[in-house]
A and B are shown apart, each in its own frame.
Chain A
Amino acid sequence: EPEVTQTPSHQVTQMGQEVILRCVPISNHLYFYWYRQILGQKVEFLVSFYNNEISEKSEIFDDQFSVERPDGSNFTLKIRSTKLEDSAMYFCASSTQGQAYEQYFGPGTRLTVT
């Protein structure tokens, strides 16, 4: 069964460094998303991407964040200058239709900022 994959599974970085989190969505899906979950908190929407552009973004997704689909398979989230409060689990998700429909989540990347 097709699944969303994410790399790395765990990333440790120092405050102020740039990180890139990678995702490979399910191949025939058209909508891509990033969410984050701080330990013990709820899953929070960051950004949605459709037709090679951002379609929605939350207040969390400020100028320090960017997304890219560099080729036909990868979908990346870049954090330019990490802060301690960026430490969280980051989930990539994809769907055939928009956010109101079922989404398939990846296993997540645990980002630890020290």
Chain B
Amino acid sequence: SQKIEQNSEALNIQEGKTATLTCNYTNYSPAYLQWYRQDPGRGPVFLLLIRENEKEKRKERLKVTFDTTLKQSLFHITASQPADSATYLCALVPPGYSTLTFGKGTMLLVSP
């Protein structure tokens, strides 16, 4: 079965720096990979989707890369702000399946 690994330790960075979060997966390469933000006690909020034939996707201060050879996606937040503090979830649909599988998420803490 598909396994998704995200850094379990919280990432602490200073305001203004770039945060980089990692999502690694095993077995099959997904056709799509998604990133969500989750605040405590709230539902996930969709941020970005990247397809297997795309290397990079950007949206404002967010950037996602997708390396199917390494079986890895990187999620970057540039010019980070304290309001970016949250847990970021990686999710994918393995080929041949239609159900979304989430990683456990990485907590990001941005200090002023």
B65-112 contacts to A, CB under 8 A, are 89, 91, 93, 98-105
Q: In the complex the two chains form, is B102's CB within 8 Å of A100's CB?
A: no
Residues of B in contact, count (CB < 8 Å): 22
Residues of A in contact, count (CB < 8 Å): 26
Q: In the complex the two chains form, is B105's CB within 8 Å of A42's CB?
A: yes
A42-B99 in contact given A91-B43, A102-B34, A106-B43 (Cβ < 8 Å) = no
- The smallest beta-carbon distance between A80 and chain B, in angstroms, is 23
A99-B100 in contact given A42-B105, A43-B89 (Cβ < 8 Å) = yes
The residue on B at minimum CB distance from A57 is B99
**Which residues of A are found within 8 Å of B34, using beta-carbon distances?**
102
Q: In the complex the two chains form, is A58's CB within 8 Å of B49's CB?
A: no
A91-B44 in contact given A100-B93, A101-B49 (Cβ < 8 Å) = yes
B residues whose Cβ falls under 8 Å from a Cβ of A: 31-32, 34, 38, 41-46, 49, 89, 91, 93, 98-105
3 nearest A-B residue pairs (beta carbon):
A105-B43, A102-B46, A43-B102
